[in-house]
Amino acid sequence: MATQVNMPKLGLSMKEGIVGKWFKKEGETVKQGEALLEIMTDKITNKVDAPADGILLKIAADKKAKLPVGGLLGVIGQAGEDIGALLKAAVASGAKTAAPVAAAAIQPAAVKVAAGGRVKISPIARKLAEENGIDYSLIAGTGPEGRITREDVEQFMSQPPADERPALEIIAYEGMRRAIGDNMANSWAVAPKVTQHVSVDLSALQSLRATINSDVKDTEKISVTDILVKAVARALERHPRINTTLCGDEEIKVLSEINIGVAIALPEGLVVPVVKQANQKALAEVSKEVKDFAKRAKKNKLEPDEMNGGTFTVTNLGGYGSVDYFTPIINQPESAILGVGRTVEKPVVIGGQIVIRPMLALSLAFDHRVIDGAPAAAFLSTLLKLIEQPHKIFI
C-alpha cells in the first residue's frame, strides 16, 4: 500500500516549509529511514527520511516549492501501483501539492520530447525562440504534457547568461546557504539599520575568567562569549526597549523574556541557537548550553525550536584575530544584534597615565524603526560598565 510523504512540522512555530533538493528521483528505490529530501524553514535546513520501503512513485512538490505543514511532498509505493485515487484524496482532504497530479499512477514531472522525438512547443513560443536565436530544446516546458509555452521562452530569455569562467568548485545555492541568503537579504531590505562602534577594556573580565577557570575541567571552562551573553542579558534587563520586535506596521512589542541567540559558524553556513531566559540562568548553565549547541550544530543535530524565540543576538568574530569592527545583520524579527571583534593590546590613558590594555571591539547594529540612537547608546554604556566591572553581572 502506498505511503504519503508529507511536509513535517519542524518546530512548534513552523507553518510552512520550502522544498530543497531531492536525494531520489521518481522511479528509484528507497529504504525506510534513508534521507529522501531537504526541507528549508526560515531558520534551518532539515533532511526528511523515507517513511517506508518502496519506490518513489511521485514527486508532488519540486525543488523551491513552498508548502504548508502536512502538504503532500511525494508518494512511496510498489512498482506499477495505481496511486491516482490516493493523490486525488490527498488533494481533496487539503494536503496541498505544489505539482499537478494525474489519475495515472506515475507521470514524469516534465515531458519535453514527444514519442516521435520532436520537441513539444506551441507555435507562438517557437516563433519567439527562433526570432531570438534560442535553442528551444534546452527549455523545460510547463504546459500540458511538458509543452513549451511562450511564458517558458520568456522566462528562459530573462535568465542571465551562464558564467563560463573557470572555477575551483561549484557550490549549489540551496539548503542552508539559500535560507541564510534569503533571511539576510530580507533583513537588509526591511530594516533601516544604524551601527554604533565602541571599544572596551577587557582586562577585568579576563582576570575574572582566569579565576573562574583555574580549578575546572578544560571541557567546562568559561569562554569570553559565555560572559558576554550573560552581560548582554543583564544589560537588556535595564534597557527593555532594546529587547523589542516590530509586529507588522502597527505595534512595537517590548518582550518579557530575554532570549539570547548565539551565532555559530559552520562550513556550510551559520546557525543561531537561542539561550532562553539567559538573564535568569547561572553563568555555568549558559556556558553549558552554548557548548552543547556548538557541538550538536556541527553534527546537524539542533532542533528547530532551539533556534526560535530569540530577542537579541550575539555574533563573535574575535576568534579569527583579524576583524575589529563590522556591521552585523539583524536577525529578524529581532531589533538589535551585537557584533564582537578581536581583542587587541592598545595604549590607553587611565588616570593621566598611558598604559597598555586589552581592548575589545564591539558593534551594536539596531533597527532604527524601533530603536533610536540615544537609547542604543545608553544600552551600550551599561554593557561597557558590566564588562569593565564584571562582578556586577552577578549582582
Output the DSSP codes for 132-179: TT--GGGSPP-SGGG-B-HHHHHHHHHSPPP--S--S----S-HHHHH
Q: Which of 62, 197, 324, 372 is catalytic?
A: 372
Q: How many CB atoms lie within 10 A of CB 32?
A: 12
Q: Compute the distance between CA of residue 47 and CA of residue 43 in angstroms, rounded to an integer.
A: 14
- Annotated catalytic residue 226: no
Q: Which of 135, 182, 368, 391 is catalytic?
A: 368
Q: Compute the distance between CA of residue 300 and CA of residue 274 in angstroms, rounded to an integer.
A: 15
Pairing of strands 260-262, 312-316: parallel
Q: Compute the distance between CA of residue 156 and CA of residue 125 in angstroms, rounded to an integer.
A: 11
- The answer to whether 139 and 156 have CB atoms below 8 angstroms apart is yes
- Annotated catalytic residue 163: no
Helix (H), strand (E) at residue 186: helix 175-190
Cα 136 → chain centroid: 36
Q: How many CB atoms lie within 10 A of CB 140?
A: 13
Q: Classify residue 21 by its DSSP letter.
A: E
Which residue numbers are catalytic?
368, 372
